Amino acid sequence: ESVVKVTKIKKEQDKGKMEEEAVRLRREIGLLPAVSFIIGTVVGSGIFIAPKGVLMNSGSVGLSLLVWALCGILSLFGALCYAELGTTFTKSGGHYTYLLETLGPLPAFLRLWVEFLFIRPAVASYVSLAFGRYVVEPLFAPCPAPSALIKLVSILGVTFVVAVNCWSVSMASRTQVTLTFIKMFALVLIIIPGVIALAKGKTENFQNGFELESITLDRLPLAFYNGLYAYGGWYFAHLNIPLAIICSMVTVTVFYVLVNVAYYTVMTPAELLLSDAVAVVSKEYYESRSWMLFVGAREGHWPPIFSMIHVRQRTPLPAVLLLYPLVVVMLITGEIYQLINFASFSRWFFIALATLGMLVHRYRFPHHPRPFKVPLVIAVIFTVVCFFIVGLSLYSDPWNTGRSCALTLTGVPVYFVTVHRFRVPHRLTHTFNYCSKQLQILLEVAQQEVQTY
């Protein structure tokens, strides 16, 4: 899940020397790019969408600010846990690899299944919807912006990101660094006027910040879902640890709390709840999850075509293109806050499962090399809190979380039919292999010549 670059391998043959360009992926990233990468992945549309969801489900200004701070702490704990996982299991694949190595193939396949089916399309769709809203709404203010135009701009944004990631991984990496500074600059532009207004005594929105009659504890897990969505991306934090993790997450947490304070100095809670887009900023990436499909295919849990890379651009073209139509469909039919709850249930269930697997692996293999080892108390607290939030969310929003749970379980029969080839007709297998071969020729993709584990 780290930044990946292409390398060339020199091969020697018996009759003289000959240079060949082998198809291979190589990891390469330093401390500053790691901090930039983590912040750039974490900071995105969430901070400009989630404040409404956090306030709506927490019920008060004071509790919403507390939720933001706690989400930052929880994300830091999670990043440290994933740092141990990322340095213990160095294969690509992130969540999928961690579950595969600690709990076995079925949980790993289910993680891949839900990632492909709705988590990644849902995340990319509500990020894209936010992008479209931020671009279009200022042009029509104070009148409502046309919904069709918002979705059209959102689709164009998704198309641009897909094109960048199909063309060049290094270009995507450079664009990510640029967007990091743009997004942080946008946050500064929001924070400074808010702090100035606060210094001038504009504090009426903070009075009675913890009104008991307005607090909705039964919906608190949904407030955490929205807050944690804004912190999403910390699971890439195994790049340079622990310094990059701590620097990145502390910076993001401070910025997020200050941004929300700034919001409340210039907007009343009622005004914030009436707006889906509380600021205008740039759009975040969604390319990195295609690598999970890429690695899953390499392990035999997904069609082999999705483990191939383009012979010239060295990008996982089939995996990226697979996500595109799913994102567009969900973007057209979805609604932002329902999509957040819908995707967050499975996402956080499998995150908790991965850290539980880390604890199980520690117990079963105490002498396994671990370059970084998170304190046990942090790992236990994070795992328990995640399972608690996931379980309570079934009560808070049974419709969206229930559907998410049901779709996860549909992967169980699919696993036994497709992975174990249980009673699959030979004709169907032959047809599938033929279509895969033709698609490989059309997309000009091939298997890696060197496995990058």
What is the per-residue pLDDT across 62-86, written as a single tens digit (0 to 9) for each?
A: 888 899 999 999 999 998 898 888 8
Whole-structure pTM value: 0.77
Answer yes or no: are the C-beta atoms of 65 and 57 closer than 8 Å: no
CB count within 10 Å of CB 33 equals 20
pLDDT of residue 448: 66
Pick from 30, 82, 87, 102: which is nearest to 372 by CA? 87
Does 451 map to a domain? no
Kind and range of the H or E run holding 5: strand 4-6
Torsion of CA 16, 21, 27, 30, to 10 degrees: 80
Residues linked to residue 156 through DSSP beta bridges, in sequence order: none
Q: Which residues of 102-125 are buried (b: 16+ CB within 10 A; e: fewer)?
A: bbeebbbbbbbbbbbbbbbbbbbb
What residues contact 77, with CB distance under 8 A and at least 6 apart? 378, 379, 381, 382
pLDDT of residue 386: 93
Does 359 map to a domain? yes
pLDDT of residue 213: 65
What is the radius of gyration, based on Cα positions, of the chain? 23
Q: How far apart are CA 339 and CA 174, in angstroms?
A: 29
- CATH number of 433's domain: 1.20.1740.10
Q: How far apart are CA 101 and CA 88, in angstroms?
A: 10
Does 61 map to a domain? yes
Answer yes or no: are the C-beta atoms of 31 and 240 closer than 8 Å: yes
Does 77 map to a domain? yes
pLDDT of residue 240: 47
Answer yes or no: are the C-beta atoms of 50 and 230 closer than 8 Å: yes
SS3 420: coil
Q: Which residues of 70-81 are buried (b: 16+ CB within 10 A; e: fewer)?
A: bbbebbbbbbbb
Q: Which domain holds residue 383?
A: 4-446
Does 434 map to a domain? yes
Distance from the Cα of residue 191 to its chain's centroid = 25
Q: How far apart are CA 132 and CA 403, in angstroms?
A: 27
pLDDT of residue 381: 96
pLDDT of residue 176: 63
Answer yes or no: are the C-beta atoms of 53 and 43 closer than 8 Å: no
Angle (nearest 5°) at CA 301 between 238 and 298: 60
Q: How far apart are CA 353 and CA 1, in angstroms?
A: 18
Predicted confidence pLDDT, tens digits, the chain (453 residues) = 333 344 444 444 444 444 444 554 444 456 676 677 677 667 766 777 788 888 888 888 888 889 999 999 999 999 889 888 888 887 777 788 899 999 988 999 999 888 887 888 888 887 788 778 878 877 877 777 888 898 898 888 888 877 877 776 666 666 666 766 776 777 777 788 888 888 887 777 777 667 666 666 678 888 898 888 888 767 655 554 567 777 888 888 888 888 888 888 877 777 676 665 554 333 333 444 556 666 776 677 777 777 777 777 677 777 777 778 888 888 887 777 777 888 888 999 999 999 999 999 999 999 888 888 899 999 999 999 999 999 988 888 888 888 888 989 998 888 887 776 656 667 777 777 778 788 878 777 777 654 544
Does 453 map to a domain? no
Q: Total structural domains in the chain?
A: 1
Pick from 155, 273, 262: which is nearest to 214 by CA? 273
What residues contact 169, with CB distance under 8 A and at least 6 apart? 3, 4, 5, 6, 314, 315
Provide the phi-psi class of 396: left if phi over 0, else alpha when psi is between -120 and 50, else beta: alpha
pLDDT of residue 356: 96
The dihedrals phi and psi of 421, each to the nearest 5 degrees, come to 55, 45
